[in-house]
Amino acid sequence: MNLSQPRRILFILLIVLLLAATAAAWLLAWHPAGREAVAAQCRAPAALLQPGQALKVMTWNVQYLAGKRYIFWDDLPDTTGPDDKPSAEDLAYTLDEVVRVIRDETPDIVLLQEVDDGAAATGEQDQQALIGARLADLYPCSTAAFDWKARFDPNPHVFGSAGRKLVTFSRFQITSGERLALPQRASIPLLRLFAPQPALLQSELPIRGGGKLTVINTRLERPNGDDTPQRQVDALELHLSSLQRAGQPWLLGGDLGLLPLGQYPYLPEVLRAPYRANSELNLLAARFPMIPAVQESSGAEQENWYTHFPNDPRVHKPDRTLDYLIYSPRLSRIEAGVRSNDTLRISNHLPLTGRFLLPH
């Protein structure tokens, strides 16, 4: 290619600018390892789990304490929601409400998703610290792992720092924690640097006399018609199967973002688009016990198990199940339920609880 001197200089400048922009993006983005230890923090002595004891677990996507007065930019399929961030007043109110519900339920283990830490949209709050301080007398131990983080996200709706966590609080001792990466949604490499990086937050709770309970907290990416949910479910099934082969009790809770078998026909056609009639979740439901069980989430009383109340002007009440507890056959289910009577204005998800008996 025979370029004139000015064009050659311009071409070189463009290459330099492109390289500089790529380097800046790399420095501003977050690059977690596929598997890494996270701190298990116990601010006070905590009891050990006992063989055969009953254990109550809650999973709840608290939607970064934003409340339900918004339709955020990414709440609608075409990302045209009018709101970018909640007010300080709504953040304070929702914090009070989340703490109120958890205190009233008093689960032994709390699995929270979408907990902000350092995000510009929520005033750079450390929401784990805010919630933990209000519950310090109940939960001495905790673990946390980011599943979205960037020093600066250039998305016009964010245009600032991003930070979102999975957080596990426990009344019982946690000896170790680990973050395990899940497959990320395929996209343009530069955009993928700033996108969420879904993961499992795994916590180990020792059982008196030997053994341990593995507790996993997660939030999968919402489906959008690609194969990301299937790849993430496949990775999840592989990991749970390895725990199963090891013979140790385990429990997973979180926002899996997928419909259970049988709910697809009940959604209005305009709301079905992201989902498959034959849900990716069926792989897990066929392998492991789940709350809600298929006969509950797809039966005549399925509305009792709806956990999602979308921020969508077309939806006026909870209309689908997206949150689950999946557990080892070594655990015995005692009871379970969704708390909906006083939680509809707190988050776009409702808290799901289950009580189990640990093995003797």
For 192-233, the three-class secondary structure string (H helix, E strand, C coil) is: HCCCCCCEEEEEEEEECCCCEEEEEEEECCCCCCCCHHHHHH
- Measured N-to-C along each axis, helices 88-105 and 127-134 cross at an angle, to the nearest 10 degrees, of 40
Extract the tokens encoding 277: 């009639």
Instruction: Answer yes or no: is 26 within a domain.
Output: no
Tell whether pTM > 0.85.
yes
pLDDT at 18: 56
Instruction: Answer yes or no: is 16 within a domain.
Output: no
Q: Which DSSP state fits 172?
A: B
pLDDT at 192: 67
Instruction: Answer yes or no: is 52 within a domain.
Output: yes
Cis peptide bond upstream of 82, omega within 30: no
CA proximity to 57, closest of 285, 201, 217: 217
- The rounded Cα 152 to chain-centroid distance in angstroms is 21
Question: CB under 8 Å to 25, separation ≥6 — which residues?
Answer: 190, 193, 194
pLDDT at 21: 53
pLDDT in tens, 213-250: 999 999 999 998 899 999 999 999 999 999 999 998 99
49/242 Cα distance (integer angstroms): 23
CB 344 within 8 A of CB 326: no
Between 169 and 360, the more confident residue is 169
Quote the number of domains for the chain. 1
What CATH number is attached to the domain comprising 234?
Answer: 3.60.10.10
Instruction: Answer yes or no: is 17 within a domain.
Output: no
**Range(s) of the domain holding residue 323:** 36-357
Instruction: Answer yes or no: is 189 within a domain.
Output: yes
Question: Would you call 265 helix, strand, or coil by DSSP?
Answer: helix
pLDDT of 14 above 80: no
**Mean of pLDDT over the chain:** 91
Instruction: Answer yes or no: is 139 within a domain.
Output: yes
177/211 Cα distance (integer angstroms): 16
- Across 317-339, average pLDDT: 97
pLDDT at 133: 97
- The rounded Cα 89 to chain-centroid distance in angstroms is 24
- Across 111-139, average pLDDT: 97
pLDDT of 332 above 90: yes
CB 199 within 8 A of CB 218: yes
Between 7 and 197, the more confident residue is 197
pLDDT at 25: 57
Instruction: Answer yes or no: is 18 within a domain.
Output: no
Positive or negative torsion for Cα 235, 236, 237, 239: positive
pLDDT in tens, 32-85: 888 999 999 999 999 999 999 999 999 999 999 999 999 998 888 778 889 999
Instruction: Answer yes or no: is 318 within a domain.
Output: yes
- Across 162-173, average pLDDT: 97
Question: Would you call 28 helix, strand, or coil by DSSP?
Answer: helix
Q: Which residues share a beta bridge with 255?
A: 219, 323
- Across 305-327, average pLDDT: 96
pLDDT at 17: 60
